[in-house]
Chains A and B, each alone.
Chain A
């Protein structure tokens, strides 16, 4: 158990809908990262938050947004869902620095029908 929690574990929804994925980092970790894992794209970095502020953006679609709250939990919002958004979404957390290990949550498996 990495100490990172993600809810829900599974999510099935229809095209055009909006969903919210939730992540609680390990106790003491200030940075939260979101990654998408799909069969064709592999593991891709989406976005990083540090202590409530956005720090880095990767290949995140405009339909996707995220935020980190004062209690450091984070949410990833996916809207106008398409079939291609079906993937495993991971949240990871680290203490602060670049050499810090990122510990991953169990992931949320999103299926868009």
Chain B
């Protein structure tokens, strides 16, 4: 079974600075992927970025990038030029399979990011 660990319950970052949110994973699947989601205080879950284990380059989506280090089993989210609207919970998640066509996400416990003006 997959296991996702987010060791930072809370983090602070100054506006306009970059911040790295940590995520480590454990899986026996030879092929896997990692998702990051953002959950603002309003509650919705917003997809940010995805990378598969066989992707050669680290994924980038605007100010978000994934620092994928397979040897260390880590997939850290980097947010550049932080904005006040980035204050939210951030979850790392990995898909797992229990049979043909079956698929679920296993989530970490999340990191609460607070952006300071």
Given the known A-B contacts A42-B110, A43-B91, A106-B43, are A99 and B101 also in contact in the complex, defined by CB atoms under 8 Å?
no
Q: Are B103 and A98 in contact (CB under 8 A)?
A: yes
CB<8 Å pairs between A and B, sample of 20: A2-B46, A2-B47, A42-B110, A43-B107, A45-B104, A48-B102, A55-B99, A56-B102, A56-B104, A94-B103, A97-B103, A99-B50, A99-B95, A101-B35, A101-B47, A104-B37, A104-B45, A106-B44, A107-B44, A107-B45
Secondary structure type dominating chain B contacts: strand
Size category, B interface: 20 to 34
Chain A: which residue is nearest B37 at the CB level? A104
Interface residues, chain A, CB within 8 Å of chain B? 2, 31, 33, 35, 42-43, 45, 48, 50, 55-56, 58, 88, 90, 92, 94, 96-99, 101-107, 109
Contacts of A94 in B (CB 8 A): 103
Q: Which of B95, B103, B107 contacts A55 (CB 8 A)?
A: B103
Give chain A residues whose Cβ lies under 8 Å from the Cβ of B44: 2, 104-107
